[in-house]
Structure 1
């Protein structure tokens, strides 16, 4: 009787937790689909700091608008890569309005990893920054946490250190299947 339990466990777990046949025989199984899209997002950054860490600026609210190229690999459980260029529009109570033109790349298969290079400006000076991020995502959308690193030593511009955001495609254009 004790030898029957491992056999029943393997039999039931294999039948209950395996994939369904129609899921693995998807028509998109090995296709790569490239889609241009417009992505929009909202990011929140609390406790912005300058490089001297002598004062704390107010929180930042960031609206992201980018044009992206979404490349989806595989079928129903595939992955996606997103190449994008656009701009962040940053509203800060203490320092006013900023813009941050940027370029970036993101890769996702349930877990999203990516990085972007930003050029934050208040129309008087430009500060380059790099922001790696991670989170959850797929199909061009993502929920991420990122951290901005400055690329110049001397700057008196607030840096939005920890940033939490969500980005989603609002308009997809014609798909190209390869």
Structure 2
């Protein structure tokens, strides 16, 4: 009995070190989104590099680290033949380390344009993501300023953050 009591006390004292120190609160934030996109696998013979910049609103938190974001932005071609601009609107859902979402992007060189639906799947969280973005061409299939698949690394820089009640 004495041995069981000592064992019980030791286990009880060890459990104090297991108290949670993490923040399970919920937050709303407005972020500056910056990213680099590598476009490959498509009709063009070369790979393209794009810069992403935008503003998004993010709601995240909780025990499992889920959240969602939506926002607007633009993709700018860094090594395209002509100046390329891609205004876009999109949304993403995060759950632990999984990222799922979609975007609508209109690429233009100011002579021609194409509208593309872009599903998003990858790894990340509320401040960063590494995603694969296949593109579905909706209009003007002859205008191919970039390739059909890209990999993107992006980060969200908080401009404003507020604790919320869920």
Report the TM-score, using the length of structure 1 for normalisation: 0.74
How far does residue 58 in structure 1 lie from its aligned partner after superposition?
2.1
How far does residue 21 in structure 1 lie from its aligned partner after superposition?
4.5
**Secondary structure, counterpart of 2:19 in structure 1:** helix
Distance in 1, Cα, partners of 2:75 & 2:124: 20
Distance in 1, Cα, partners of 2:117 & 2:34: 20
Which residue of the partner structure matches residue 90 of structure 1? 77
Give the number of equivalent residue pairs: 148
Go from structure 1 to structure 2 and tell me whether the alpha carbon gap of 1:33 and 1:100 turns closer, same or farther (over 3 Å shift): same
Q: Which runs of 5+ in 2 are unaligned?
A: 1-16
Distance in 2, Cα, partners of 1:138 & 1:131: 19
Go from structure 1 to structure 2 and tell me whether the alpha carbon gap of 1:48 and 1:158 turns closer, same or farther (over 3 Å shift): farther
Which residue of the partner structure matches residue 105 of structure 2? 118
Query: In 2, are the aligned partners of 1:148 and 1:159 still within 8 Å (CA)?
Result: no
Query: In 2, are the aligned partners of 1:103 and 1:117 still within 8 Å (CA)?
Result: yes
Which residue of the partner structure matches residue 39 of structure 1? 33
Go from structure 1 to structure 2 and tell me whether the alpha carbon gap of 1:88 and 1:141 turns closer, same or farther (over 3 Å shift): same
Q: Please list, as runs of the form range in 1=range in 2, the aligned pairs for 1:158-169 lying within 5 A after superposition.
A: 158-169=145-156
Aligned counterpart in structure 2 of residue 106 of structure 1, from 92, 99, 103: 92
Distance in 2, Cα, partners of 1:164 & 1:39: 16
Does 2:65 align with 1:71?
no
How far does residue 172 in structure 1 lie from its aligned partner after superposition?
3.0
Report the TM-score, using the length of structure 2 for normalisation: 0.79
Aligned counterpart in structure 2 of residue 138 of structure 1, from 82, 100, 125: 125
Does 2:19 align with 1:22?
yes
**Secondary structure, counterpart of 1:133 in structure 2:** strand
Quote the RMSD (CA, aligned, Å).
2.0
Q: Which runs of 5+ in 1 are unaligned?
A: 1-19, 50-55
Distance in 1, Cα, partners of 2:85 & 2:40: 17
**Secondary structure, counterpart of 1:139 in structure 2:** coil
Query: In 1, are the aligned partners of 2:114 and 2:143 still within 8 Å (CA)?
Result: no
